[in-house]
């Protein structure tokens, strides 16, 4: 069995750890990871070059309404194609818009169906990032455990996954080394193809911890570029 943290951020977007640092910990602990930076894949590309590490090619895409979609690919080259063709042209070139693109969520989900990937609704129960029913029916999986949010939201996501009969993913949503591996999936497989297939067959398990309310507030202060925005008079 192998543990894989399916939601990790690096310095390529809003994380504090380099890809090299993340891989060093992952290899030392014999775990896998997916670097799912916000609307960018340089971190994932760099990580996939390390043949001694278990890395799932991935990205976290923000819709025009701030919904977050995780996408996991079997092949880094297909992720590159997806990014260059479908995401890059719709990025918003402003630091206050790191977390979103110009793409509507339904359009993102429609596009993803043309690629060999698994899509997962990231932290769908958080109030400001709530998913509506139609996109939830289209997405492949739901992130039922995200270690950067309180347990009440994860419990809602888990119930949502069960009620809609969706596949399940989990991850730390780590933005620092300290939180890496605080959440993830467990698979009997140890290859990218095997792990993603185990998710498709609903044979993976999810495990991890949730933030307390205080930890969650601190996390938002560190990672959000919206918290201290000064309003123009």
- Structural domain includes residue 98: yes
Q: Which helix (H) or strand (E) holds 77?
A: helix 76-82
State the pLDDT at residue 99. 86
A 10 A CB-CB count for 136 gives 19
- Structural domain includes residue 230: no
Count the domains in the chain: 1
- Structural domain includes residue 227: no
- Taking only the tens place, the pLDDT of each residue in 185-221 is 999 999 999 999 999 999 999 999 987 544 444 444 4
- Structural domain includes residue 216: yes
CATH of the domain at 113: 3.20.20.140
State the pLDDT at residue 219. 47
- Structural domain includes residue 193: yes
- Structural domain includes residue 206: yes
Characterise 178 by phi-psi region: left (phi > 0), alpha (psi -120 to 50), beta (else): alpha
- Structural domain includes residue 83: yes
**What are the residues facing 62 on neighbouring strands?**
68
Domain that holds residue 131: 2-222
- Structural domain includes residue 66: yes
**pLDDT band for position 128 (50/70/90)?**
low
How far is the CA of 114 from the CAs of 81, 107, 121, 164, 233, in angstroms?
A: 11, 12, 18, 22, 45
How far is the CA of 122 from the CAs of 46, 113, 154, 212, in angstroms?
A: 23, 17, 11, 19
Identify the residue whose tokens are 């990014």.
83
State the pLDDT at residue 95. 64
> Which whole number is the average pLDDT over 163-181?
97
């Amino acid at each position: 069995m192998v543990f894989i943290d399916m939601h990790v951020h690096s310095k390529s977007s809003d994380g504090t750890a380099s890809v090299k640092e993340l891989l060093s910990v992952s290899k030392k602990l014999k775990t896998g990871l997916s670097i799912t930076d916000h609307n960018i894949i340089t971190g994932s590309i760099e990580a996939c070059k390390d043949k001694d590490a278990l890395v799932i090619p991935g990205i976290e895409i923000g819709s025009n309404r701030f919904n977050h979609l995780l996408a996991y690919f079997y092949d880094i080259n297909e992720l590159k194609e997806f990014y260059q063709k479908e995401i890059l042209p719709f990025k918003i070139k402003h630091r206050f818009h790191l977390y979103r693109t110009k793409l509507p969520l339904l359009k993102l989900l429609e596009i993803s169906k043309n690629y060999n990937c698994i899509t997962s609704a990231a932290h769908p129960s958080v109030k400001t990032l709530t998913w509506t029913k139609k996109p939830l029916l289209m997405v492949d999986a739901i992130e039922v455990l995200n270690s950067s949010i309180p347990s009440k939201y994860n419990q809602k996501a888990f119930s949502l996954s069960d009620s809609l009969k969706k596949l399940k993913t989990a991850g730390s949503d780590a933005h620092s080394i300290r939180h890496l591996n605080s959440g993830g999936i467990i698979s009997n497989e140890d290859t990218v193809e095997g792990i993603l297939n185990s998710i498709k067959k609903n044979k993976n398990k999810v495990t991890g911890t949730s933030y307390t309310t205080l930890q969650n507030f601190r996390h938002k202060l560190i990672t959000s570029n919206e918290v201290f925005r000064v309003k123009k008079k």
